[in-house]
Chains A and B, each alone.
Chain A
């Protein structure tokens, strides 16, 4: 076994410099190589979610997608789904910041009469085992939103919010022990519905 390098000042500086330089170079290469596939994977996910949340269509909603500016700097992307050039639904990529941790991104699909057709979760960082039950593969909670007739919901506490959990006098059953996540999900749907009403005009 070769003898160890002495811990002299020069040796330490040189070794740490070389180690960091090699690590940085390797990471830069990996980042470059994976940049496009990651972007592609995210786009693919959007595409898949659009396919889930609106009725059958035969156009390309991703290439016809458009953005809607809301508030100061936020924007929602919406994807029109058409069957033989007739609008059958709109998928809206929406978000909520009132979740348990970071921003939750979901895709909400509407039929032209304003009903929610289906929903799909895109990104979230809620507690595994609790808030993540909003995902389709982890429970049937989100089925409440399937064919939800938003225009017919009564605003029970007159705060202008229609989609709410039962704790807030709404109509949605919250996930057990994850009311905050459920509330955020409702908030995102509500935001999508308001956007839908705007683009309907």
Chain B
């Protein structure tokens, strides 16, 4: 597989949210606005790249039967490091995202990439895979957040577009499912093989 393909498939053909439907818990929970989606995506990308690197480095040292617990310990450590560092040095950003950071541990996208890709491939390819998947995830979260923010709060990136409160349902969980359903349908139409 070419390097470019490893990087770009995370955006379209194997997009974590729209195609593989991985990591839906943080996806639905955090995308009440475009900014929240963007922040969560970036934090996830960082953890994904770091864990992919470490998993790829130690892959030959981990016996098969204990690989999942080992990967989870590695991922959880990076998440905690991100949380503490953000709290200490960028408290303003932590104020917005703090609620969601611990959720990254249970994002099966990260464990999925560690298991399916990083534990079988070279470090350089694993970095590319982590970046591509992470940025594709970020893009999906931002789109979902933007649509929900426009319909639910009448603004985008906290800039007001129209007066009033918008349709409240889109800020709540049911709205997340509705918007996600339509976005997946749209992706399927656009990527349909003729």
Contact = CB atoms under 8 A, between A and B. Distances in A.
Contact of A19 (B30, B73, B153): B73
A129 B33 contact: yes
A128 B99 contact: yes
Name the prevailing secondary structure of the A interface residues.
helix
Interface string B46-86: 00000000000010111111100110011011001100110
B111 to A, nearest CB: 15
Interface residues of A, number: 35
Given A20-B73, A128-B36, A1 B60 contact: yes
B77 A23 contact: yes
Nearest to B80: A27
A58 interface: no
Given A37-B89, A41-B91, A5 B62 contact: yes
Given A34-B87, A45-B91, A26 B77 contact: yes
Contacts, number: 86
Contacts of B91: 41-42, 44-45
Contacts of A137: 158
B97 to A, nearest CB: 10
Contact of B84 (A1, A4, A38): A38
Given A34-B84, A45-B91, A7 B65 contact: yes
A1 B119 CA distance: 12
Nearest to A40: B88
Contacts of B69: 16
Interface of B: 30, 32-33, 36, 58, 60-66, 69-70, 73-74, 76-77, 80-81, 84-85, 87-89, 91, 99, 152-153, 158, 165, 168, 171-172
18 contacts: A2-B60, A5-B60, A5-B62, A12-B63, A12-B66, A15-B61, A23-B73, A23-B74, A23-B77, A30-B81, A30-B84, A34-B84, A34-B88, A42-B91, A128-B36, A128-B99, A130-B172, A138-B158
